Amino acid sequence: MVKRIIMLGAPGSGKGTWSKVLSDTLSLPHISSGDLFRHELKVESELGEKVRHYLENGLLVPDEVTIALVEKTICEGAGKDGFILDGFPRTIFQAEALERFLDERQLSIDAVIDLVVDEAVLIERILSRRVCTKCGKPYNTTSMVPMVEGVCDDCQGPVIKRSDDTEETLKKRFKAYHDETEPLVSYYRERGKLIEFSNTAPPGEATKNELLGLLGLGQDNG
């Protein structure tokens, strides 16, 4: 059974959407570094104030802050029996820290999924996407529109455009991705963990089964 998965991909490639699909299908918790950061912002913690500066300027949160937060979640929270990591690791330094952390517990990453999408498509996706502020369900203004405008289908929470989804912030995020995160593709390919998945269509049964097949799982998820 595949129990520890990392989702890679450029901003807007669908990491959050596909993480949720796999989380529901495989009964594994979806651990999003972005959600962890937003939680700290919401409770107005000291860490949250540090995170705010970086997120609002389209910069990556420093490695040591992100690593500590994710490791705590894996160790003490929902991820102790398996997980789908979304937005972490973002750098080789973070990947090496995660590998050491898991090695110490005689654990390892089972698969790393790289979502491959053309950059022009990504830009269009990001500017159109929306999210429920209550449950985190993703939407967009083209193919995944809530039944009632501005209201989540699942929990009736407010559906909004994220404050960091702007063209100016987007340019900074793509530069940060190319400089720091893209090298992870080679890092995990060399370790035999990488699975490349061309994500050009919205999630459906066919695309979900294609991804499960790449993970070595049949439709019975076994």
Co-location of 108 and 41 in the same domain: yes
- In one letter, which amino acid is 199? N
Residues 44 and 98 in one domain: yes
Q: Is residue 210 part of a domain?
A: yes
- Say if 197 falls within a structural domain: yes
25 domain residue, yes or no: yes
Residue 165 lies in a domain: no
20 shares a domain with 124: no
86 and 184 co-located in one domain: yes
Same-domain pairing of 144 and 57: no
Residues 62 and 109 in one domain: yes
Q: Nearest to residue 169, comparing CAs of 57, 61, 62, 60?
A: 57
Residues 9 and 45 in one domain: yes
- As for how many domains the chain has, the answer is 2
DSSP label of 69? H
- The torsion region of residue 9 among left (phi > 0), alpha (psi -120 to 50) and beta comes to left
- Can you give the CATH number for the domain in which 187 is found? 3.40.50.300
In a domain, 169, yes or no: no
Question: What is the full per-residue pLDDT of the chain (222 aa) written as tens digits?
Answer: 789 999 999 888 889 889 999 999 999 999 998 888 888 788 888 878 888 888 788 777 888 888 988 888 888 766 778 999 998 998 899 999 999 999 998 999 999 999 988 888 888 888 898 999 999 888 999 888 999 999 999 999 999 998 888 888 888 888 888 888 889 999 999 999 999 998 767 778 889 999 999 999 865 554
pTM for this entry:
0.76
CA angle 177, 66, 17 (to 5 degrees): 60
What is the domain extent for residue 144? 119-160
Catalytic residues: 15, 90, 129, 162, 173
Do 129 and 59 lie in one domain? The reply is: no
